[in-house]
Amino acid sequence: MTEASAHVTTAKPDTAVSSSAPVPAFDYQCSAELFPTRSRKPRRNPISYKRFETAAKALRFAIEELPDDLLLGAYLQVEEERFDSVGMRRLYDSERYPLKRRATSQR
């Protein structure tokens, strides 16, 4: 397991890894799969599993488009590594993130 795999956390929110921590080597060009959590609120168009051409596009969708309640329990799988919502936020906030960001609220 690489340094990048220290992203799925079971810690309490107040002990989660800081989003300002350095992001280890990560390939934003790998394909990725996003698994949103099931919402307790009924939705007209439920969001389910999605596959993305690149991890960068998956991260953009997760951070910019997913409702907070779906992002919280979601995870991103890139090759054999999984990233929870905190890990996804760290990758999205990284200086190495290759896509233009839309202004979003901090979650």
Q: Does residue 17 belong to any structural domain of this protein?
A: no
Per-residue pLDDT tens digits for 41-54 = 555 555 778 999 99
Write down the pTM of the prediction: 0.70
Within a domain: residue 10? Answer: no
In a domain, 89, yes or no: yes
Residue 18 lies in a domain: no
Residue 72: give the domain boundaries.
27-39+46-99
The answer to whether residue 83 sits within a structural domain is: yes
Q: Does 54 fall in a domain? A: yes
Residue 104 lies inside a defined structural domain of this protein = no
So what's the pLDDT on residue 22?
57
User: How many domains is the chain partitioned into structurally?
Assistant: 1
Is residue 71 assigned to a domain? yes
Burial (CB count within 10 angstroms: exposed 0-12, middle 13-18, buried 19+), residue 85: buried
**Which residues are bridge partners to 75 per DSSP?**
35
